[in-house]
Amino acid sequence: MNQDTTTRTALIALDAIEDGGLVEVEGSVEGDAESLILHRDGERVRAWFNVCPHAGRRLDWAPGKFLRSGGLLVCAAHGASFELASGECVAGPCRGESLRAVAVEVRDGSVHLANP
């Protein structure tokens, strides 16, 4: 198969993420394989490193299984709660800190790293 750049850099098809949902994917960021959290919001997608600013743990309790409460993303380790619009921690042990964002874009029906 002749893969073009679009195919090679795709993380996941947009339709594979439920609207409003969260998924975990692996992406190559600056040459390193990283676990990433993707959040679909209509036709746009936000992404963050799957690393909690509190103690550096993954936020999911099993790969791709995230806790949510009242519209917030909750870290499975110690309960830090993050706003999905901003990635900011609004409750818990790292209140005021933020998830580290990763630039992504939706192109041709797929989610891509903006700066692979």
Q: Which residues in this chain contact ligand FES in the complex, by CB under 6 A?
A: 52, 54-55, 57, 75, 77-80, 92-93
Secondary structure percentages of the chain, helix, strand, coil, to 5:
5, 45, 45
Nearer Cβ to ligand FES (44/78): 78
Least CB distance to ligand FES at residue 15 (A) = 30
Number of separate helices (H) and strands (E) present in the chain: 1, 10
Least CB distance to ligand FES at residue 79 (A) = 6
Nearer Cβ to ligand FES (55/103): 55
Map residue 36 onto helix, strand or coil: strand
Least CB distance to ligand FES at residue 42 (A) = 27
